Structure 1
Amino acid sequence: MPTNHPPDLIEPAPAPGYSRARLRWEIWIVLAVTVGQSALYSVLALVRALLRPTPIGDQQTQLNPSRDDTALWDVLYQSLSIFFGLALVALVVYLLWEPGSNALRRIGLDFRGFGRDTGRGILLASVIGVPGLALYAAGRAMGITVQVQASPLDAAWWTIPLLVLAALRAGLTEEVIFIGYLFDRLRRLGWGWWTIILSTAALRAAYHAYQGFGAILGNFVMGIVFGWAYRRWGRVMPLVIAHTVIDIVAFIGYPLAVALWPDLFGPTA
């Protein structure tokens, strides 16, 4: 871990005493309407799965399920879901904005050095994605991970574009909130870097708990790696790119893997 801050990472000023309470309230409210809410529901889903008589390895969950039986309404609802998800990201960026300071530039969510960010993102996607797939397969083999059902790719012409947008939404939502926002706010409260990295990694793990214990472990490790990368590089953009690539592979490549190895990955929806 380098002792010097990278050039792009601007250390936020500690919050003065009178504003610490306000910062804590802001963090709790943001978590309550974004990733914290989802993490709580995800943990409850895991608890419910464990309480069922059926072993967790024999249970299923679905990625990007259809929202309506009618194609027109399904694409409308899914598009609105993506839009409102991105609106929450915009809200968090707005809260980070300060007079005389560009929030997007401060957390590194801009197109400066986009080629370098893309290279780093693809590297991160490889480092996280391949072991993640192996961890999922191992979790399925041990019966500690639920079977993930993939959305079929041949449902309509707009299926793949919507899946790509859903992957982008997931990348922006998780990396901007878990990394860009929480790292800024928790540093202002005086938290240490590794305390923040481990805490946000644990929250990320809880966010994916509905998929079982394999996903919990995989996302906890992903949170540590991504948190370390942000501490080193000072930019969210490579993390968004990596996350989006991982999810595109999961959303689009997963049905292909199901077709090739149905006994391992399970049938599509």
Structure 2
Amino acid sequence: MEDSAAVPAPTNPTASGYQGWGVRSRRRLIIEVLLVLGLSLGQSAVYSVVSLLDKLSRAPISQGTSTLNTVLNNREVFDFTYQILDIFFALVPVMLVFYLLAEPGKSVSRAIGLDWRHPVKDGLGAVALLVVIGVPSLGLYAAGRAMGITTEIIPSALNQYWWTIPVLVLSAIRAGVLEEVILNGYLLGRLEKIGLAPVAAILLAALLRGSYHLYQGFGPFIGNFVMGLLFGWVYKKYGRVAPLVVAHALVDIAAFTLGPALGFGG
């Protein structure tokens, strides 16, 4: 006599009992991505667009200013405290991304290439990217100012204290880690799981990168969109976020600490 309880469960995801699982999984990923972006770069993009509209409603964009690092309190000890808190909490979405990407027995840092396995290759790659994006960005800023499509960018308006330069360096590192981990280490993979082709995922991530720089004008939007295309291609080719983070941080460190010497803020 056959045991009716021994009937195997269906293994086909579209079989009875499993129908709609792919759709539900995709919907959950979309919601997850929207939540992560809503807490980080997507939120910045929304504020950036509103800021741009505000500036355009007041005067030509070339007459506007964009300050990247501002004083948060008039008293030194509280300004320092707010600066450090701002940097720390800005990185919480990165911690969330690590949590969401975590799988049993696997290292997220290793999976996205944010580790020390290839210091020489990563270092050389970062230097190459620094040359490719660093020098052209200065020319793009000058061209944007001349064309009237870019605001005057003031990299730092912080008061000069003993901690000013270290905080600016930390702020630059924060930007590199936040943007490259979320846009490349997280978003590209999630968009592909949702169903986008790799090229479409890179384009969408690059568009987002450009969008949250719109408060600086249309020149920075174009420059960061192109940077997003390059960084997305490099990440998909090599699977390493580390050189992207280092290159991004170095560009921002130079801009934040040497802004006037590089032609910013004037």
Q: Give the TM-score taking structure 1 as reference length.
A: 0.88
1:102-156 CA-partner distances (Å, limit 9, x unpaired): 1111111111101210110111011011101100010011111000123257701
* Contact 1:153-1:255 at 8 Å conserved across structures: no
Change (3 A) 1:48 1:29: same
Change (3 A) 1:221 1:48: same
Q: Which residue number corresponds to residue 6 of structure 1? A: none
Residue from 22, 35, 38 that aligns with 1:32: 38
3-state DSSP of counterpart to 2:91: helix
The yes-or-no answer on 1:22 pairing with 2:46 is no
The yes-or-no answer on 1:83 pairing with 2:88 is yes
Q: Which residue number corresponds to residue 226 of structure 1? A: 231
The yes-or-no answer on 1:51 pairing with 2:57 is yes
3-state DSSP of counterpart to 1:42: helix
Residue from 88, 102, 109 that aligns with 1:104: 109
* Contact 1:151-1:255 at 8 Å conserved across structures: no
CA distance in 2, matches of 1:255, 1:92: 35
Q: Which residue number corresponds to residue 175 of structure 2? A: 170
* Contact 2:69-2:158 at 8 Å conserved across structures: no
* Contact 1:31-1:37 at 8 Å conserved across structures: yes
Q: Which residue number corresponds to residue 16 of structure 2? A: none
CA distance in 2, matches of 1:100, 1:203: 32
Change (3 A) 1:73 1:226: same
* Contact 1:60-1:149 at 8 Å conserved across structures: yes
CA distance in 2, matches of 1:73, 1:46: 30
Higher RCO structure (Cα 8 Å, ≥6 apart): 1
The yes-or-no answer on 1:41 pairing with 2:55 is no
CA distance in 2, matches of 1:59, 1:44: 14
Paired residues for 1:76-155 under 5 Å: 76-151=81-156, 155=160
The yes-or-no answer on 1:70 pairing with 2:47 is no
* Divergent runs of 4+, >4 A: none
Shift, 1:174, TM fit: 0.3
CA distance in 2, matches of 1:51, 1:153: 27
Residue from 220, 240, 254 that aligns with 1:249: 254
Please identify the structure whose Cα radius of gyration is greater: 2
Q: Which residue number corresponds to residue 3 of structure 2? A: none
1:76-109 CA-partner distances (Å, limit 9, x unpaired): 0000001111222111111111112211111111
3-state DSSP of counterpart to 1:196: helix
CA distance in 2, matches of 1:49, 1:196: 30
Q: Give the TM-score taking structure 2 as reference length.
A: 0.89
Q: How high is the sequence identity, in percent, across the aligned residues?
A: 50
- Unpaired segments of 5 or more residues in structure 2? 1-20
Shift, 1:16, TM fit: 3.7
Q: Which residue number corresponds to residue 211 of structure 1? A: 216
1:197-218 CA-partner distances (Å, limit 9, x unpaired): 1110000000100000100000
* Alignment RMSD (CA, Å): 1.5
CA distance in 1, matches of 2:40, 2:183: 10
Shift, 1:50, TM fit: 1.3
